[in-house]
Amino acid sequence: MASPALNLRPAVDTDQAFLRALYASTRAQEMELLPWSQAEKAAFLEQQFDAQHRHYQEHYREAEFSVILHAGQPIGRLYLFRGPRTYNLMDISLLPAWRGRGIGSHLLSLLAQEADTAGKAIRLYVEPDNPARRLYERFGFAITSQHPIYLEMHRPAARSLSA
């Protein structure tokens, strides 16, 4: 979905409620399997969001924390750290109604073009059963390591034509 109505802007404090709801939506299927009350699930998701947010803020101070907008309305987030040799795609998430519309492919394509131009690799972590894994594989990401919960995937830097 290449659209002039699609853009990014830096996340701000007033986005917290949206970002919490977005995070919860990415874990909805997982939460359905648990025999917890809605209150227990909500408390767990709040705790997990807070821990993730704190981790990102502490360990990736120079990262770009962006809200994905469509026609000015928030529909997702894209968190990216541009390291000296590798871009770390920390997170790309969309609200359920916006998934499967080509937005993730479009944003990943732009990121891959930028990384290729800069001669940088891209690294990300994904759960083994996350449907986005197929998208990443189409963009040349390969599994380089397996962690207890996540797969680490890398897309190598494009080779320079002058090399």
Architecture category of domain 6-155 in CATH: 3-Layer(aba) Sandwich (3.40)
pTM for the full predicted model: 0.90
- Sorted by sequence, the CB contacts under 8 Å of residue 92 that are 6+ apart come out as 76, 77, 78, 79, 104, 107, 108, 132
Taking alpha carbons only, the member of 89, 85, 142 closest to residue 119 is 85
In angstroms, the first-to-last Cα distance of the chain is 34
Instruction: State pLDDT tens for residues 6-49.
Output: 999 999 999 999 999 999 999 998 899 999 999 999 999 999 99
pLDDT at 1: 39
Q: Could you tell me the residue ranges of all domains in the chain?
A: 6-155
* Confidence label for 74 from pLDDT (cuts 50, 70 and 90): very high
Interstrand relation of 142-146 and 86-94 (parallel, antiparallel or unpaired):
unpaired
- Supply the pLDDT for residue 37: 94
- Cα 79 to Cα 26: distance, rounded to the nearest angstrom: 15
The angle formed by the CA atoms of residues 80, 3 and 83, to the nearest 5 degrees, is: 15
What is the CB-side half-sphere exposure of residue 69 using CA atoms within 13 A? 13
Beta strands in 55-141 (DSSP E): 64-70, 73-82, 86-94, 121-126
